[in-house]
Amino acid sequence: MIIFLSLGTNIGNRVQNLNKAISLIRSQKDITITLKSKIYETSPMEFLDQDFFLNQVIKLDSNLQSHDLLKITQEIEIKLGRLQKKRKYMPRIIDIDILSYGDLTIRNKNLFIPHPKIKSRKFILKPWSDIAPDYILPNSKISIKELLECVLHLKDKVKEYK
């Protein structure tokens, strides 16, 4: 199964946080990371009074069930020090979102796949277009690259991190 994850961080050593998350994902016996996007520095959304994020998208190959992958990603977040707060859009050491899971559409209280806000998130679409510009989400007719073109006018900043 082809899976795409989004990684984001804006607390502490952001590059190290991404690398640790990727290392922990890679260490899972049933997961193979096949591609990684460039890293992008992005402005915060919703709650603007916080540091800029680093974001990256990775492509996985796995036969895990979606709920098992969610459990693994949540355990990695906790292991790296993410606090489970009820408020969204706050600063975080690491955030791992399952963007898509093959051609599945999942809607339950714990998991929405494809991630419901992909189409409006330049900080997801830009790195995703690095590794899979022609990918088309389930129940969609346009590619990641085309979705990105639809949001380029938005004011949030996304630039390659060097």
Domain ranges for the chain, please list them.
Answer: 2-160
User: Rounded mean pLDDT of 124-147?
Assistant: 95
pLDDT at res. 91: 85
* The model's pTM: 0.94
Q: How confident is the model at residue 53 (pLDDT cuts 50, 70, 90)?
A: very high
CATH of domain 2-160: 3.30.70.560
At residue 86, does pLDDT exceed 60? no
Encoded tokens for 30: 């049933």
